[in-house]
Amino acid sequence: MEAPRVIKKYPNRRLYDMRSKRYITLCEVKILVLEQTPFQVIDARTQQDLTRCILMQIILEEELGKSPLFSCEMLSRMIRSYGNGMQRFLGHYLEQGLRYALERSSQDNTGTDLPDPHPASDGLSLQNLMGHHLDQITQLFHTLQQQVNNAPVATSLQDQHMSPMNGSHTEHDQSHLQGGSTQIHPAM
């Protein structure tokens, strides 16, 4: 397997392709992505990996164009997901949803059938389909996040030892909470 192409980013914000030994533009980096050419962007001064930042810049440029993929509501929900328990969960499912949409598009082009959750009669382009799918996933995770945030939480150790069947403490728990000894009986 070929080593990733190294692109150095200099403080003047210019990108230098080490393989072709010339400065390149963000549009040329986008072409590398479209051609599926492996590359890595490195800060020339600190050697920090900036690949994700450059990819985000490309996405930003695309989102500023005529056909953005993400709605403002979806972007807002994505921002709210940072720093909480849903971040990794949301990222994983957004990635899976996008992968499915791209595979679906690829299958459509090769004539192989996959189940179609959005028939072609809907008139949705791939970009609209992916945006719609990502919006649905984001809404689902927003709902899940609200449910997790609103779930009752045990407020004391006594609450954690409540019997789920009747809300009362078990005999074992009562003895333990009152400072009595606890005996463990093997199952018969």
Tokens of 33: 């992505």
CB burial of 7-26 (b: ≥16 within 10 Å; e: otherwise) equals bbbeeeeebbbeeeeeeeee
Per-residue model confidence (pLDDT) at position 85: 75
pLDDT at 48 over 90: yes
Average pLDDT in the chain = 74
Q: For the segment 144-182, what is each residue's pLDDT rounded down to a tens digit?
A: 667 767 766 554 444 444 444 444 444 444 444 444 444
Look up the pTM and report it: 0.57
Q: In this predicted model, what pLDDT tens digit does every residue of 59-94 receive, in sequence order? A: 999 999 888 888 888 888 888 888 877 787 778 877
